[in-house]
Amino acid sequence: MPLLSVLVLTLALGAPLILASMGGYTSERSGVINIGLEGMMMIAACMTAVVGIPLGPVAGLAAALVSATLLSSLHWLVTQKYSVDHVISGMGINAVAAGAASFVFGKFADPKHEGGVPHLSVWIYYVLAIVAPLALWLYTQRARGGLRMVAVGADPEKSRLMGLSPGRIRFVALFATGLFTGLAGALLVSDAAIYTNNITAGRGYIALAALVVGGWRPLPTLMVCLGLGFLGSLQLRFQGTDVLAVIPSQAWASLPYLVTIIALAGFLGKNRTPAGLGKP
Amino acid sequence: MWRLLALLVGGVAILAAAMLISSVSPVEAVKTLILGSLGSRGAIAGTLRETTPLLIAGVAVYLALRAGLFNIGVEGQLLVGAAAATAVALKTSGSAGFMLAAAAGVGAGALWALPAGWIRAYRSGHEVITTIMLNNVAVYFTGWLLANPMKDPQQQSPTTVSIDASTRLPNLYSHPPLIINVAIVVGVTAATLLAIWLKRTIAGFELEAVGANPRAAQFAGIDPKRTMLLAMTSSGAIAGLAGAVQVLAYEGRFYAGFSPGYGFDSLGVALLAGNNALGVLPASLLFGILAKGGTALQIEGVPKGITTVILGFLILLAAAIRYRKVNAVA
Amino acid sequence: MQGISKRFGPVIALEDVDLHVEPNTIHAVVGENGAGKTTLMRALYAAAPADAGTIWLNGEAVHFAVTKDAIRAGIGMVSQHYAIIPELTCLQNLMLGAEGSTLLNLQASRKKAEALASRMGFEFDWSGPASELSPAGAQKLEILKLLWREAKIMILDEPTAMLSPADSDALFASLRVLASEGATVILVTHRLREVIDHCQTVTVLRGGKLVAEKPVAETSASELAHLIVGSEMDGGVPVFTSQVGGPVLEIEGLSVTGERGNVALDGISLTAHSGEILGIAGVDGNGQRELFQAIAGVTPSTGMTEIRGMQASSTAQRLQQGLQIIPEDRHEEGIVAEWSLEDNAALGLQRSAVLKSRGRRRWATEVAGLFGTKYANLSQPMSSLSGGNQQRFVAGRALASHPSLLLAFQPGRGLDIHGTQQVYQRIRDECESGACAIVVSFDLDELLEHCDRIVVLNSGKLLEPPKGQERDRTSIGRLMVGAG
Which of B292-306, C51-65, C155-169, C286-300 has the highest mean predicted lDDT (pLDDT)?
A: C286-300
Q: Please, what is the average pLDDT of chain C?
A: 85
Per-residue model confidence as pLDDT tens digits over A46-95:
999 999 988 999 999 999 999 999 999 999 999 998 888 898 899 899 99
Contacts of C262 (CB under 8 A, 6+ apart): none
Tell me how far apart the alpha carbons of residues A225 and A203 are, in angstroms, rounded to a whole number.
11
Q: Which of residues 53-82 of A touch B (CB under 8 A)?
A: 78, 81-82
- Quick one: average pLDDT of C324-331? 92
Q: What is the sign of the dihedral through the CA atoms of A280, B6, B12 and B16?
A: negative
Tell me how far apart the alpha carbons of residues C126 and C113 are, in angstroms, rounded to a whole number.
8
According to the model, what pLDDT value does residue B220 have?
Answer: 95
Per-residue model confidence as pLDDT tens digits over A132-154:
999 999 999 999 999 999 999 99
Q: Inform me whether the pLDDT recorded for C337 exceeds 80.
A: yes
The amino acid that residue C396 corresponds to is G
Q: Please, what is the average pLDDT of chain A?
A: 89
Which segments of B279-329 does DSSP mark as H helices, in order? Answer: 280-299, 305-322
According to the model, what pLDDT value does residue A108 have?
Answer: 74
Buried b (16+ CB within 10 A) or exposed e, C366-390: bbbebbebebeebeeebebbebbbb
Tell me how far apart the alpha carbons of residues B167 and A226 are, in angstroms, rounded to a whole number.
49
According to the model, what pLDDT value does residue A70 have?
Answer: 95
Per-residue model confidence as pLDDT tens digits over C176-233:
888 888 889 999 887 777 888 889 999 988 878 888 888 988 888 778 877 876 654 4
Nearest beta carbon to residue B305 from set A94, A102, A254: A102
CA angle, B272 then B276 then B278, to 5°: 85
Provide the 8-state DSSP code for A110.
-
- Quick one: average pLDDT of C443-451? 85
Q: What is the pTM of this model?
A: 0.86
Q: CB–CB of C327 and B209 under 8 A? A: no
Tell me how far apart the alpha carbons of residues A75 and A174 are, in angstroms, rounded to a whole number.
8
Q: CB–CB of B216 and C314 under 8 A? A: no
Q: Inform me whether the pLDDT recorded for C240 exceeds 70.
A: no
Burial class (CB in 10 A: 0-12, 13-18, 19+), A188: buried
Q: Is B200 on the interface with C (CB under 8 A)?
A: no
Q: Inform me whether the pLDDT recorded for C34 exceeds 80.
A: no
- Among residues B216, B212, B258, B245, the alpha carbon closest in space to that of B231 is found at B212
Kindly list the distances between the CA atom of residue A98 and the CA atoms of A43, A87, C24, C246, in Å, as whole numbers in the listed order: 7, 16, 63, 70
Min mean pLDDT across B281-285, C14-18, C315-319 is at: C14-18
Tell me how far apart the alpha carbons of residues B48 and B250 are, in angstroms, rounded to a whole number.
11
Kindly list the distances between the CA atom of residue C220 and the CA atoms of B285, C197, C405, in Å, as whole numbers in the listed order: 75, 11, 41
Question: Radius of gyration of chain B from Cα atoms?
Answer: 20
Which segments of C268-352 does DSSP mark as H helices, in order? Answer: 288-296, 315-320, 341-346
Question: B325 to chain A nearest CA, in Å?
Answer: 6
* DSSP letters for C46-75: TSS--SEEEEEETTEEE--SSHHHHHHTTE
pLDDT band at C292 (very low <50, low <70, confident <90, very high): very high
- Closest-CA residue of chain C to B216: C333
Nearest beta carbon to residue A103 from set B124, B129, B303: B303
Tell me how far apart the alpha carbons of residues C2 and C366 are, in angstroms, rounded to a whole number.
44
Helices (H) and strands (E) in chain A, counts: 11, 0
- Strand order from edge to edge, sheet including C2-8: C11-17, C2-8, C52-57, C60-62
- Among residues C45, C87, B323, the alpha carbon closest in space to that of A160 is found at C45
According to the model, what pLDDT value does residue B202 have?
Answer: 93
Q: Inform me whether the pLDDT recorded for C238 exceeds 60.
A: no
Q: Inform me whether the pLDDT recorded for C68 exceeds 50.
A: yes
CA distance from start to end of chain A: 53
Q: Which of B70, B315, B317 to mutate to test the interface with A (most CBs of A within 10 A)?
A: B315
- Closest-CA residue of chain A to B323: A84
What parts of chain B have a pLDDT lower than 70?
A: 1-4, 322-330
Task: List C210's β-bridge partners, or say none.
Answer: C205
**Spatial contact of C281 and C480, defined as CB atoms under 8 Å apart:** yes
Upper half-sphere CA count for residue A204 (Cβ side, 13 Å)? 32
In 3-state terms, chain C is what percent helix, strand and coil (to 5)?
35, 25, 40
Task: List B179's β-bridge partners, or say none.
Answer: B174
Upper half-sphere CA count for residue C282 (Cβ side, 13 Å)? 25
According to the model, what pLDDT value does residue C233 have?
Answer: 45
Contacts of C250 (CB under 8 A, 6+ apart): C270, C271, C304, C305, C306, C309
What parts of chain A have a pLDDT lower than 50?
A: none
Per-residue model confidence as pLDDT tens digits over C386-407:
888 899 999 999 999 999 999 9
| Strand intervals (E) in chain B | 171-175, 178-181
C-alpha dihedral, B228 to B234 to B240 to B242, nearest 10° = -110
Q: What is the sign of the dihedral through the CA atoms of B136, B137, B138 and B140?
A: positive
Residue C142, helix vs strand vs coil: helix
According to the model, what pLDDT value does residue C236 have?
Answer: 45
Q: CB–CB of C87 and A150 under 8 A? A: yes
Q: Which of residues 139-168 of A touch B (CB under 8 A)?
A: none
According to the model, what pLDDT value does residue C390 have?
Answer: 92
According to the model, what pLDDT value does residue C483 have?
Answer: 60
The amino acid that residue C63 corresponds to is H
Q: CB–CB of A85 and B319 under 8 A? A: yes
Question: B168 to chain A nearest CA, in Å?
Answer: 30
According to the model, what pLDDT value does residue C477 have?
Answer: 76
pLDDT band at C164 (very low <50, low <70, confident <90, very high): low
Q: Inform me whether the pLDDT recorded for C239 exceeds 60.
A: no
Task: List C405's β-bridge partners, or say none.
Answer: C323, C436
Tell me how far apart the alpha carbons of residues C279 and C286 are, in angstroms, rounded to a whole number.
15
Contacts of B130 (CB under 8 A, 6+ apart): A260, A261, A264, B73, B115, B116, B119, B120
According to the model, what pLDDT value does residue C393 have?
Answer: 95
Contacts of B225 (CB under 8 A, 6+ apart): B121, B122
Question: B36 to chain A nearest CA, in Å?
Answer: 19
Per-residue model confidence as pLDDT tens digits over C132-156:
887 778 888 988 998 888 888 999 9
Tell me how far apart the alpha carbons of residues C45 and C40 are, in angstroms, rounded to a whole number.
9
According to the model, what pLDDT value does residue C418 have?
Answer: 81
Q: Which helix (H) or strand (E) holds C471?
A: none
Tell me how far apart the alpha carbons of residues C479 and C473 are, in angstroms, rounded to a whole number.
10
Q: Identify the residue with better confidence: C403 or C1.
A: C403
According to the model, what pLDDT value does residue C250 have?
Answer: 93
In 3-state terms, chain B is what percent helix, strand and coil (to 5)?
75, 5, 20
Min mean pLDDT across C186-190, C236-240, C370-374 is at: C236-240
Chains A, B: CB contacts under 8 A, how many? 153
Question: C99 to chain A nearest CA, in Å?
Answer: 6
Q: Which of C8, C51, C336 to mutate to test the interface with B (most CBs of B within 10 A)?
A: C336
Q: Is B322 on the interface with A (CB under 8 A)?
A: no
Tell me the residue length of chain B. Answer: 330
- Quick one: average pLDDT of C323-334? 92
- Closest-CA residue of chain A to B320: A84
